[in-house]
Amino acid sequence: MELAEIESRVKDWKLAVEGGSKVRQSHLPRRIAMGDAEVGMLEEAVSAYRAGQVDPGYQGIYEKRYTDDFVAHMGGGYADAVATGTASVFIAIAALNLPRGSEVIVSPITDPGTISAIIFNGLRPRLADSRHNDYNMGASQARERLTPDVSAIVVVHSAGQAAEIDLIMDMARDKGIAVVEDCSQAHGATRMGRPVGTFGDIAAFSTMYRKIHITGGSGGVVYSNNLDLYRNALAHADRGKPRWRSDFNDRDPSGYLFPALNWNTDELSCAIGIASLRRLNDTIVRRLAFVSELAALMAEMDTMFSIYNWTPCDSPFIVPIYVDMTRARRSKTEIAKAVRAEGIDLNPHYAYVVSEWKWVLPHLADNFDTPQALDARNRSFCLYLNENYGAEEAADTAAALLKVHRAMSSDPKPDRIIPLVEA
């Protein structure tokens, strides 16, 4: 699609936030993660339990099928399905038996659940910066934060793009440091031909309803190639039970290993997960097609906007769009809101930079600024994304960006464009 075709989608060059007509008149396609396949598998599970005249509980046949399928998807190893993504991170860290009070290097952009999981394991988060123009922590940034008190690194694969996990693993192995992969936003992403989650000692996944792979309203998976770590995770996920022992008696708590909470999921959630996992690869392919189309269209335009550097190895969760603030005459947030007003669904300000949360500051290992993470966040807004977006949605998004650029950039503007009214 050439520039003229993108321009033709703009029927009114006056910004929608200024009273003009939107580029996108209809709602963007909705994502229904609980599709027919998921509903069908859920109905199958309910019918199976009704036929057996028992209620669907947990640790049954559907959980076994789901975790077996998950392991097959990962190329081997061991997996345990749990109640939430936050629980998966907590359990993964707990399974390592790290020295209490030791430090854990962690990515600067992540969910509060990741940070809380470190804190509630009696550990101190030690922030590392992200790479330039990236939400992910880099290997050099992690290396700069090493101290004798560091016992582990939690690597977050943000936005669906793999971090430099291979390089971080080389460093961690050299230093004898454990590595947890937080893959909550990156199901199916790969690096060097390997799925994320297979590099570190243990990995955590979120499967809540907004993720690319789901098990229902909430859920998570703990995964490892290490049998001992997997068994330790099993015990931490279910009240300290050594369920792998042949002589284990579930009705005799005297045989439990240690104090632990109940993070079990349920059979119906696992049934949903079976169906969702089957279409994960197709979902990724469709999302990548959209971001590739959008990137190609943006390459046709000389604007203040640029897209996150996606590769075929990624599994897009959100789509960061960067703003060249040297060409802007409005704040990034104002620009993002103007794009959103044109009918494009987005988050104007991604608020997941850990160093900005006052509640976490007393728990950090030190007062460390993460300027590159802040810069990446401050110069970007995030398009929401689902696999139902196609060429039409990409074209409308590009047109909205072009319209906002011509109204809000410092570049010379064609006469036909109505100047933005100064606030």
pLDDT tens digits, one per residue of 382-414: 999 999 999 999 999 999 999 999 999 988 665
Residue 415 predicted with pLDDT over 50: no
pLDDT category at 64 given cuts 50, 70, 90 is very high
Rg (C-alpha) for the chain, rounded Å, is 23
pLDDT of residue 413: 60
Q: How many CA atoms lie within 13 A of 241 on its CB side?
A: 19
Q: Is the pLDDT of residue 276 over 90?
A: yes
pLDDT tens-digit map of 117-136: 999 999 999 999 999 999 99
- Residues near 158 by beta carbon (within 8 Å), at least 6 away in sequence: 107, 109, 110, 135, 136, 185, 186
Phi, psi of 384 (to 5 degrees): -70, 155
The span from the CA of 266 to the CA of 180, in Å, is 25
Residue 226 sits at the vertex; the CA angle it makes with 235 and 86, to the nearest 5 degrees, is 50
Distance CA 291, CA 401 (A): 14
Give the C-alpha separation, 136 to 105, whole Å. 13
For 98, phi then psi, to 5°, come to -75, 155
Domains and CATH numbers, the chain: 3-31+280-408 (3.90.1150.10), 36-278 (3.40.640.10)
Among 336, 203, 219, smallest CA distance to 274 is for 219
Sheet containing 202-206: give its strands across.
78-82, 220-224, 202-206, 178-182, 150-156, 103-106, 124-127
Taking residues 279-300, what's their average pLDDT?
Answer: 96
Q: Given this model, what pLDDT does residue 423 score?
A: 34
User: Parallel, antiparallel, or unpaired: how do β-strands 150-156 and 178-182 relate?
Assistant: parallel
User: Cα-flanking dihedrals φ and ψ of residue 245, to 5°?
Assistant: -75, 135
User: What pLDDT is attached to residue 181?
Assistant: 98
| Pairing outcome for strands 78-82 and 103-106 | unpaired
User: What phi and psi, each to the nearest 5 degrees, are found at residue 45?
Assistant: -65, -45
Give exposure, 364-383, as e/b (b: 16+ Cβ within 10 Å).
bbeeeebebbbebbbbbbbb
pLDDT category at 1 given cuts 50, 70, 90 is confident
| pLDDT band at residue 308 using 50, 70 and 90 as cut-offs | confident
Helix H or strand E segment including 156:
strand 150-156
Q: Determine the Cα–Cα distance for residues 64 and 48; give it in Å rounded to an integer.
A: 15
CA neighbours closer than 13 Å in the CB half-sphere of residue 370: 34
Q: Which of 418, 398, 192 is closest to 296 using CA atoms?
A: 398
pLDDT tens per residue, range 215-239: 999 999 999 999 999 999 999 999 9
Determine contact, residues 60/271, Cβ cutoff 8 Å. no
Instruction: Please give the mean pLDDT across all residues of the chain.
Output: 95
The pLDDT of 191-211, averaged and rounded, is 97
**Averaged pLDDT, 363-390:** 96
**What's the token pair of residue 246?**
């042949």
Length of the chain: 423
Q: What are the C-alpha distances in Å from 303 to residues 4, 325, 410?
A: 14, 11, 10
Contact 207, 85 (CB under 8 A): yes
pLDDT range class, residue 416, cuts 50, 70, 90: very low
Which of the four pLDDT bands, split at 50, 70 and 90, describes residue 370? very high
